[in-house]
Amino acid sequence: MNIQTLNEKLELIQWLSTLEDASVIKKLMLLKKEETKDWWNSISEEEEKSINEGILQADNNELRPHSEVRKLYGKWL
């Protein structure tokens, strides 16, 4: 983190500590909640299906060695 970002964070902390407007505080809390939202809830059904399929394959020990995967998908990596 650079010094400018640190200074900005400190400025925000100072501003928040003096903030009395409840509507602004509520808006900030909503923003915080949005920023910490679980990414799983925002992926597509296709992505979710693909991830679950991969987990199932791993659970069934249907894994490929890293070297084999590199050969298959190397051009995209």
User: What range does the domain containing 21 cover?
Assistant: 1-36
CA distance 47 to 54: 11
Residue 8 has a pLDDT of 95
This prediction's pTM = 0.45
Instruction: Tell me: do 7 and 32 sit in the same domain.
Output: yes
> How much of the chain exceeds pLDDT 70, in percent?
100
Instruction: Tell me: do 48 and 64 sit in the same domain.
Output: yes
Residue 39, pLDDT above cutoff 90: no
Structure-block tokens of residue 18: 């003096």
Task: Tally the domains of the chain.
Answer: 2
Instruction: Tell me: do 3 and 29 sit in the same domain.
Output: yes
Instruction: Tell me: do 32 and 55 sit in the same domain.
Output: no
Residue with tokens 């995209």: 76
Instruction: Tell me: do 32 and 53 sit in the same domain.
Output: no
> What is the torsional sign of CA 42, 46, 52, 55?
negative
pLDDT digits (tens, 9 = 90+) for 50-75: 999 999 999 999 998 999 989 988 88
Instruction: Tell me: do 51 and 26 sit in the same domain.
Output: no
